[in-house]
Amino acid sequence: MEKVKELGKKIKASKVLKAEIIVILVCWILGTLLHFIYQWTGENKIIASFSAVNESVWEHLKLVFYPMLLAGIVEYFFIKKITNNYIEAKAIGIFGAISFIVVTFFTYTGILGTNIFLIDILIFLSSIILGEWISYKLMKRKNESTVQSKILAGIILIFLLISFIVCTYIPPEVNLFRDVTTGQFGVN
């Protein structure tokens, strides 16, 4: 009986891992497209709320947040029955991914005094891998989620969503929101 349970855990982990790998690839593609879609649509103000409108770190966080959120919603319908804490795991993974970008970008540019395009791309790709790895590790745990933890995870995701929309149009004038090429903030 113990071997059957162990086999079941391995199959579950394998399905979740496959789903996370697919999500990583989808997020890389969607994130890359979101970098350009604002310009491709003639700087459409509605598109601005979920795509990068300038070269600030804040706007580049959208390239990770929105694809991970969208892919996470779709993925939920495929693996919800084999995970115990999907919503919480995804919220923490998304938060981890965007935090990784902020910390690594400002750390390396603070040390070098400039940003390097290739390093920026590697940070983008790595952040999605990290976020999905965090989600995967949390989903593998036996922990059952509680109503309170699901609500908290939902609040975090909604807060981030609202922040990305509002700060696109009304950005605080701090370096996180400053376009590194023009010095401008938000939608121009």
pLDDT value of position 81: 81
Convert the pLDDT of each residue in 155-173 to its tens digit. Answer: 999 999 999 999 999 999 9
Report pLDDT for 145: 73
Q: Quick one: which of 27, 103, 33 has its CA closest to 65?
A: 27
Distance from C-alpha of 59 to C-alpha of 53, rounded to nearest angstrom: 6
pLDDT at 110: 95
pTM of the predicted structure, to 2 decimals:
0.90
pLDDT band (50, 70, 90) for residue 126: very high
Which residues, 6+ apart, have CB-to-CB distance to 123 below 8 Å?
Answer: 100, 101, 104, 105
Task: Say which residue, 132 or 9, is predicted with more confidence.
Answer: 132
pLDDT at 9: 62
Res 119 pLDDT > 90:
yes
Phi, psi of 182 (to 5 degrees): -110, -20
Say yes or no to pLDDT of 188 above 80: no
